[in-house]
Amino acid sequence: MPITKSAIKKMRQDKKREAHNKKIKGHLRELVKKARVSPTEASVKKAISALDRAKKVGIYHRNKVARLKSKIAKLVKVKKQTSPKPAKRQIKKKPS
């Protein structure tokens, strides 16, 4: 147990910060999981935005955030490539 006043205060602050960070990390995990399970543009955008905010505040290290964002972005890219592309219309040129 801390003895000095400043150490006691520090312990209180750490407890608050830990609870706050756990809440945010839990929310982030949910968003990332949703983006992995069904990688739609909206879910991926939300997850990436939340990850960037977490990096900005200092909850996650920038390299971890970059790694997670990269994985999620790859899923969307793969999904786009596997989806059927609409047929292009061919424009007939008039003879000059």
Over residues 11-33, mean pLDDT: 95
Tell me the torsion sign for CA atoms 53, 59, 61, 64.
negative
Domains of the chain in sequence order: 5-82 (1.20.58.110)
Total-model pTM? 0.69
Confidence of residue 39 (pLDDT cuts 50, 70, 90): confident
Instruction: Give the separation between CA 83 and CA 22, rounded to whole angstroms.
Output: 37
Alpha-carbon torsion, ordered 8, 11, 17, 18, to 10 deg: -160
Distances (CA, A) of 20 to 3, 26, 34, 53, 57: 25, 10, 22, 14, 12
- Average pLDDT over all residues of the chain: 88
pLDDT tens digits, 54-91: 999 999 999 999 999 999 988 887 766 666 666 677 77
